[in-house]
Amino acid sequence: MTIPTDRLSDPAVRALVTAINAHDRAAFDAALTAGATMSDDGSDRNLTQWAEKEIFSSRGHLDVESESDGGLSLIARYRNDTWGEMLTAWRFDVTDGRVSRFETGQA
């Protein structure tokens, strides 16, 4: 059973996941701090390039199955047109109400 995006506990994480699922680049950027960083499967990536490839040009989508750590850690089914669907883990750092870093990878 998935958790509806609008029921995610942390407002910054909720805003970012909502933007991802809507493919809304402006909302995605607004949910992040200036200079936000990320990693995928343990390797730091260029966030802008990664988001274009993994979210926007490939129609990425998150279905959150569980959350922990006050909503800063998620287990979600992530799918896009490039890789299909996989079970993923996400960990978020939030600064001043926006996501300053996220780490994702296969769960």
Contacts 24+ apart (CB under 8 A), 75-78: 75/107, 77/2, 78/104
C-alpha to C-alpha distance for 7 and 83, rounded to whole angstroms: 27
Question: What is the residue range of 82's domain?
Answer: 5-106
- CA separation for the pair 107, 97 (Å, rounded): 26
> Residues 21-52: pLDDT tens digits?
999 999 999 999 999 999 999 999 999 999 99
Domains contained in the chain, number:
1
Q: What is the DSSP letter of 16?
A: H
pTM for the full predicted model = 0.96
Q: What are 62-92's pLDDT values in tens digits?
A: 999 999 999 999 999 999 999 999 999 999 9
CATH code at 94? 3.10.450.50
